[in-house]
Every structure is written in C-alpha cells, then in structure tokens.
Structure 1
Amino acid sequence: MRGRFGPPPPDGGPRLQRSDGTRPQSGRPTLPGPATETVTLASGVRVEQLITGTGDPVTVFAHGLAGDIAGTRPLGSAVTGRRVFFHFRGHGRSDIPPGPWSFGDLATDLRGVADLSGATRALGVSMGAGALCRLIAETPDRFERAVFYLPAPLDGRRSDAAVQRLNRMLASVESGEAAMIADAVEAELPASVRNTPAGWSYLRQRVDQLQRDGLAVELETLWPEPAVPDENLLRAFRGRALVIGCEGDEVHPSGWAERLATLLRADLQMYDRPTVLWTNRQELRDRISVFLNS
C-alpha cells in the first residue's frame, strides 16, 4: 500500500521475543476480531468500520492517533443503541488518500461515517476528539450529544512527549519487528498492567493489528495547522457535551480539557492520573454510558 509503514509478518503471527520469562514467548496469533466491513463515504474515501448493538440512538466512536477500533470499543460497551466504530484514513484497512492531510480531512471522514449510519451522538479520543471539534465548529447542530475523551491541543502545537510517541510508533511499525512494536505499545501501558494477562493480551492484539495493517506516513502531516481555525466557533455547539481529561498526561494536557469544557459549556470530569482506561475502566465506562444514554 502506498505510503503505509509496516509489511505483513512473514508467517502471520507476532513474535514477542523477550528476555523476561514472565512474558508471552510463544508468538501465538491472537484470536480473530469481529468481522468489519469497508464502506465508501461521500468523499470517495473507503473506511473500515464495525457496527455493534441495535436500534436508536446511533453513536459513532472516533479513535486516537495510531489507535484502532478495538481500543475504542471498551468506551462504548454500556452505550445503548447502535455503536459505530471506524478507522480513520491511514489506519487499519481504511484508504490512504494523497497527502498532506488536515483535521478538516479527518472531520470529513467522521462526518461521512456519521451520515451513513445516521449517528446523532459521537465520542472522540485524542486525535478523534480534535476531528470531532472540527466537525462541530463547521456544523454546530450535527450531534445532540458528544464526548471528548483526552482531547489533544487544538492549536497545532504538540508537546515533546506527543512528538516522540508518534515517532516511536511509526519507526517501530516501519521496522516490521514485533518486539520493537511491542516495546512502543508497552510504553503506553501503566506499570501495574505490563506483566498481567490483560497487558499481554492487549500487546498481542496491537502488535498483530499494526503488523498486519501498518500506519500511513501521511499522519505526520496533520500538524502544525490548528485542528480548529477559531476555537470560538465551538461556542455555537447546540448539543450537550462531556469532556474527560487527566492530570499528569503530557500528551493530553489537562488545561486543554478544561479549556474545551468552557468553550462547549460541557460537563467536565478530571481524573487524577493518566491511563484511566486501565486504572478506572468501569467507572469511566459508566460515566460515558450514563451521559450518552440519558
């Protein structure tokens, strides 16, 4: 595929070769995930998506940079109605249109998926939250409810930690080495999870997905243009919003969560430490579902 890092593994499975004997050594492939489909948006871009649940309302879930469908599914596990998870351009099996890209392009992807499914609610994670902000800035009446989980800065400026994270991930996927990819993914896990069955399962799933699908080099072109050209446009949002941030997260500064909540007149939930999806998973899922289901 043009522009995508990461050839497929030579015989299909990740090889987590570690010196630590407590970690998985077999290289056994992960179990296959649920069947996805590829849909063509009004823009002509084809994206991979997964729909779960039945009935209304419909909620669309937008993942973060270098994220995937599997990583956003836990956030919607208790949300009623249909749940639409998808891969932005350059992720998973979605298309890689010619670059450079902007958050306007990501907002077009998100809008296209939402329009096809009739979604009236949305949740965005990090980069996905930025795309959701851009969409709302353009059409403030598009969603009735919106959740912004760990919103990244909207001004086009990234912290050193954010730059290093993307560089590390792209370099590891470009190498094609499962152990290098696992190191990059593991760096994002809390220490308490790294030597647990849940941590190993997550590592294997992510290594398998990134080796299989890779990441597009065009993702580096999303910056430095601001995600939203004028933050004040967000004040026109007509729905209800929930912003969720964390103290101590270098990639997703808590100040931006507070700033976004003010602009949207949103409910704000701040956690006292990062990696909340691992450390406060049940409470996080309950908070999101109560907001979206009410």
Structure 2
Amino acid sequence: MVRAFRWPPPPDGGPRTWGPGPGGPRSGRPALPEPDTELIATPHGVRLERLVTGTGDPVTVFAHGLGNGIAVTRPFGSGVTGRKVFFQFRGHGRSDAPEGLWSYLDLSRDLRAVADLSGATRAFGASLGAGALCRLLVESPERFERLIFFLPAALDQPRAPVARTRLLELLSAVESGDASAVAEVVAAEMPPAVRNTPAGWAYLRQRLDHLLRDGLAAGLADLPGQAPVTDAGALGAVTAPALIIACEGDDLHPVEVAEQLAAALPRATLHRYARPGVLWTERADVRARISEFLNG
C-alpha cells in the first residue's frame, strides 16, 4: 500500500512516512547548485531567462512545459552533444510577464527568439513547449534539422478540462504563498510510489524553491483553453526527422495527441511508454533515447 504524502518534511530532512517502519534520517542526493542564468532581450520586446551549457555545435534549444522551467528540462540534455540552450517562457521564472492575453503564437515567438539568438538548429519541446514548437513549425517548417516532442499535450484542439483545473490549482497555490498548498499540487504530478522517497522529496523541494521564489503569471491560465495550431495538416511541410515520446494512461498528455502529431509529421517516429511517470520509472531510457536521436 502506498503511504500518504506528508508536508512539511521532517526537520532532519527525512523523508518519513506514516505507520511503522524505519524512522532514521534518509537523505536524498544533494541538489545541484543553481546555475547562473541571464536575461536576454528579444526582437518582440519580452526579456527571457536563458541558460547555455556545453560547447560547440550543434546547438539544441529546450522548451519546457506549463508551470515548469529550466530545472525540469536540463536533465533531458544530459547526454546531448554540443551547446544546450534552456529558457523560461514568458510568465515563468525571471522572464517577463507582459500584460494582456497570451497565445501559442506568443510562445512560439519566445521559442523562435531564443533559438535564433542562440543559433539553435535542433529543438526539444515538452508539453506546452511541444505546442509552441508546433506553432513555430507551421510558420517556418524548415527552421530546425531535428525535432523532439516529449509528451505533447495538444495539437489542433484545446487541452482537456483536467489540465485547466490542475493549472488553476497550481496558480492559486503559488499566489497564496502557502508552501504546503503548493506542495500538495506539485506532489500530484508525481507517481504515488515516489512521493515519500529521497528522490521525490528532492524534486519537491526544488520545485517549491522555484515556484515560491519566482511565482507564475496569471496570464498562463488561458493557455489550456487554446489549441497550438488550427490545422495539423500544415505540419506536413516539415521535413526534419522527429521523435515523439508519449505515455499510455497520462490524462494530461493523451497518447492520441502524440499519434495525431506523428501522423502529421512526414518523418516522425513515435515511441510509447506503457505507463505515465517515465521521468521516475524510465529516466535512463528517456535520456538515452533523446541523446541517441539528437546525436545520431
């Protein structure tokens, strides 16, 4: 039986669980020190937070998911050669949060600006980032030489209501400044089996540090109700090889969206995992699959 999640953590850095069992401190691997990021100016007037790692060519840009950021996308590039460019979309981290309603067109401009300013020839998009990448490719189908879409969440239809509900819960918790409320929402993203493990607590603390320090812009709330593209058929002009990664049973990232995207892209390969939570259960395989595709 999975034991209940607890917050706040025990003062000795636990984690601990309810019920009988070992009670001594069990610390996880120490978190990596926060890297120094920079704010870059873009042609469309929105300053974006960026981190560049690695050296040489080729250059790969990594676009994160809704409510996530650089810290979550960095592990995807661990085995990728060349320079790796990570950034925060508008409304995330230290990036600007311009007034007004935002659309996938705005997100695609953020992604394009970072890619152009960094000289990126390859692109990785996770969830929201995958949608922004699709929108960019509709307008510029030959922009990148290789493409990866990790857990695409929407294509030519808006996301399911559950996605909007989860985002509104996260926005409300972050706005309240209540660490326990934010922890409960973030913990729901994790497989139950890892919530009271050292790795789970380390991830949770990292996410809380970022969300409570930087916040999330209210303008993000409208995005789940929008579709990245109006016609998926327009992606038929994309000639670059593409890898699409999906998970069965993921209600926030339906496998049907990945299948539709794979059918729309002429040179796409779709890989399905049998269950969600692959960053916990299949982490090494995901990293190897990404690096093999991008380095090939």
The verdict on a shared fold, with TM-score over 0.5 as the criterion, is yes
Counterpart of 1:153 in structure 2 is: 154
Residues 1:273 and 2:292 are matched in the alignment: no
Taking the TM superposition and a 5 Å limit, the aligned residue runs for 1:174-213 are 174-213=175-214
Could you say if the C-alpha distance between residues 61 and 157 of structure 1 is closer, same or farther in structure 2, counting changes exceeding 3 Å? Answer: same
Q: What displacement does 1:158 show?
A: 2.1
Q: How far apart, in 1, do the equivalents of 2:38 and 2:114 lie?
A: 12
Counterpart of 1:22 in structure 2 is: 16
Q: What displacement does 1:262 show?
A: 1.0
Asked whether the 8 Å contact 1:77–1:285 carries over to 2, the reply is: yes
Q: What value does the CA root-mean-square deviation take over the aligned residues?
A: 2.0
Q: How far apart, in 2, do the equivalents of 1:22 and 1:289 lie?
A: 36
Aligned with 1:268: secondary structure? strand
Q: What displacement does 1:17 show?
A: 2.3
Number of paired residues? 277
Aligned with 1:153: secondary structure? coil
Counterpart of 2:69 in structure 1 is: 68
Q: Letter of the 1:228 partner, please give it.
A: V
Q: Letter of the 2:8 partner, please give it.
A: Q
Q: How far apart, in 1, do the equivalents of 2:44 and 2:136 lie?
A: 15
Deviations 1:175-219 (A, max 9, x none): 101111111111111112111111111111110100000000000
Counterpart of 1:288 in structure 2 is: 290
Q: Greater RCO between the two (CA within 8 Å, min separation 6)?
A: 1
Q: Letter of the 2:274 partner, please give it.
A: D
Q: How far apart, in 1, do the equivalents of 2:194 and 2:256 lie?
A: 27
Q: Gapped runs of 5+ residues in structure 2? A: 1-6, 18-24
Residues 1:51 and 2:52 are matched in the alignment: yes
Q: How far apart, in 1, do the equivalents of 2:163 and 2:225 lie?
A: 13
Q: Letter of the 1:269 partner, please give it.
A: H
Q: How far apart, in 2, do the equivalents of 1:223 and 1:257 lie?
A: 17
Taking the TM superposition and a 5 Å limit, the aligned residue runs for 1:61-210 are 61-210=62-211
Counterpart of 1:6 in structure 2 is: none
Aligned with 1:93: secondary structure? coil
Q: How far apart, in 2, do the equivalents of 1:47 and 1:135 lie?
A: 17
Identity, in percent, stands at 59
Q: Gapped runs of 5+ residues in structure 1? A: 1-15
| 4+ runs deviating over 3 angstroms | 18-21, 29-32
Deviations 1:45-101 (A, max 9, x none): 100011110000000000000011010111110000000000000000000112200
Asked whether the 8 Å contact 1:156–1:223 carries over to 2, the reply is: no
Aligned with 1:215: secondary structure? coil
TM-score normalised over the length of structure 2 = 0.89
Counterpart of 1:7 in structure 2 is: none
